[in-house]
């Protein structure tokens, strides 16, 4: 391969998305490769927050029904804007709650154990929060998580085999919850096939899209996925603690949510103040409380950019960035005992690369000291996420060459091989 910096510059010149970089606040001298943990602020997201504050200032209580983006309908509007990113119908998506709150809502709604089907199928590589939530839901139903939560084993500690998941779809499984993209290795699961296999066995299936939404295209409605949930502060760049989202396939409309609340109501009935809930006839039924307006507002700006860029173009550049990164690692870092554990093929590789090294924690600290922001994962993982909307091929080139110098000069030895408070 061509390892010259000029080649990276040529790739940047041909980049159809390069103008979006100008819309983000990028610190001088910093290469930010942690967008799969927290995306950076865009000017449009900032403006959307300013607009929301000004609407509050101007309209006060009338902001619920007045202004450019009336608050009473904002969750539905943002759901409609999100739908193309996941291949859903606009009324199947709602922006609400947090990732784990939405997961609790969906599991409470779709986990319906009976005498035969009582178990939940998950995996051993999932983000801890999902497992905590599933165990909580089992306990609430009176089941022992040690017996009723089945976690698919990984053959190599980094990825999952589709056949192993399908094999685990036993007669006693009532619900399956899996990540769309594994948060460590970045492996994309075959959501279409897994959904098909689950439904063959009369099992409801849902996906955590935290590491896939905004990074890869989905076709949830076409695949028949029952439900999904996600955060918006990673690839969607909506800010720390921004309001999350959920999807419910339209075939489930008309059912009462497991956890009902004020905003579960039909819009037409909500202010009738009746003590019997009339649920919304779309994904809005799975809302619980009042939307967090100021934390939802950034999505108005961010999702506008995704509409302009197109998720297919975002995915194509992402694949090119991660491919280039892996090629440079193979070419330049072969003497330093790094192992790339992310999938190399484009079908199953998500939006970031996962490196393993026994000195990973201190290497991440050394990278940060040199202006590169990576992400450390216990015990020995380094995640690097070149994001299509704001990272460049030149930044990828610089990152690998700075990392090479850190290893060559052993500069990482200046730091303790231990994670910080937040890794």
Binding site for pyridoxal 5'-phosphate: what residues are annotated? 99-100, 127-130, 208, 211, 233, 262, 290
Closest listed residue to residue 35, CA positions, set 188, 190, 208, 231: 231
| Omega cis (within 30) before 379 | yes
Radius of gyration for the alpha carbons in the chain, expressed in angstroms and rounded? 22
Q: Which residues pair with 207 in a beta bridge?
A: 178, 228
Inter-residue contact 368 to 34 (CB < 8 Å): no
Bind-site residues = 99-100, 127-130, 208, 211, 233, 262, 290
| 8 membership: H or E segment, kind and range | helix 5-13
Residue 115's Cβ-count burial label (10 Å; 0-12, 13-18, 19+) is: exposed
Closest listed residue to residue 171, CA positions, set 113, 227, 226: 113
CA distance linking residue 242 with residue 293, whole number of Å: 10
- Helices 393-408 and 360-369 pack at an angle, to 10 degrees, of 120
User: Which DSSP string corresponds to 43-70?
Assistant: HHHHHHHHHHHHHHHHHGGGGGTSSSS-
**How many residues in the chain?**
423
CA distances from 340 to 154, 327, 382 (A): 17, 11, 10
**Phi and psi (nearest 5°) for 135?**
-65, -40
Strands (E), 251-374: 339-340, 353-356, 372-373
């Amino acid at each position: 391969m061509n390892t010259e910096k000029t080649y990276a510059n040529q790739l940047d010149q041909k980049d159809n998305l390069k103008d979006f970089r100008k819309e983000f606040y990028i610190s001088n001298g910093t290469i930010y490769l942690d967008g799969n943990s927290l995306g950076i602020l865009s000017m449009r997201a900032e403006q959307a927050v300013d607009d929301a504050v000004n609407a509050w200032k101007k309209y006060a209580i009338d902001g619920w029904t007045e202004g450019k983006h009336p608050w009473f309908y904002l969750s539905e509007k943002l759901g409609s804007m999100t739908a193309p990113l996941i291949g859903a119908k606009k009324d199947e998506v709602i922006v609400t709650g947090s990732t784990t709150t939405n997961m609790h809502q969906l599991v409470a709604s779709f986990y319906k154990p009976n005498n035969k089907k009582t178990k939940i199928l998950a995996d051993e590589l999932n983000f801890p929060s999902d497992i905590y939530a599933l165990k909580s839901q089992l306990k609430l139903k009176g089941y022992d998580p040690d017996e009723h939560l089945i976690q698919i084993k990984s053959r190599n500690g980094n990825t999952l085999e589709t056949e192993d998941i399908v094999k685990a779809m036993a007669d006693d499984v009532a619900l399956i919850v899996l990540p769309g993209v594994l948060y460590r290795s970045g492996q994309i699961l075959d959501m279409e096939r897994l959904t098909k296999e689950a439904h063959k066995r009369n099992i409801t299936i849902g996906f955590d899209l935290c590491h896939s939404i905004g990074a890869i295209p989905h076709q949830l409605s076409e695949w028949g996925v029952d439900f999904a949930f996600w955060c918006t502060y990673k690839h969607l760049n909506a800010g720390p603690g921004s309001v999350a989202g959920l999807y419910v396939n339209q075939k489930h409309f008309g059912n009462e949510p497991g956890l009902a609340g004020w905003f579960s109501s039909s819009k037409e009935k909500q202010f009738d103040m009746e003590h019997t809930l009339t649920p919304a006839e779309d994904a809005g039924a799975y809302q619980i409380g009042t939307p967090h307006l100021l934390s939802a507002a950034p999505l108005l700006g961010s999702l506008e950019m995704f509409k302009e860029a197109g998720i297919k173009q975002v995915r194509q550049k992402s694949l090119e960035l991660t491919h280039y990164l892996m090629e440079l690692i193979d070419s330049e870092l072969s003497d330093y005992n790094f192992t790339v554990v992310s999938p190399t093929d484009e079908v199953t590789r998500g939006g970031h690369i996962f490196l393993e090294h026994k000195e990973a924690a201190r290497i991440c600290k050394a990278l940060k000291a040199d202006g590169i922001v990576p992400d450390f994962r216990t015990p020995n993982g380094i995640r690097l996420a070149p994001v299509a909307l704001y990272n460049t091929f030149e930044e990828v080139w610089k990152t690998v060459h700075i990392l090479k110098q850190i290893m060559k000069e052993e500069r990482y030895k200046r730091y303790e091989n231990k994670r910080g408070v937040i890794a």
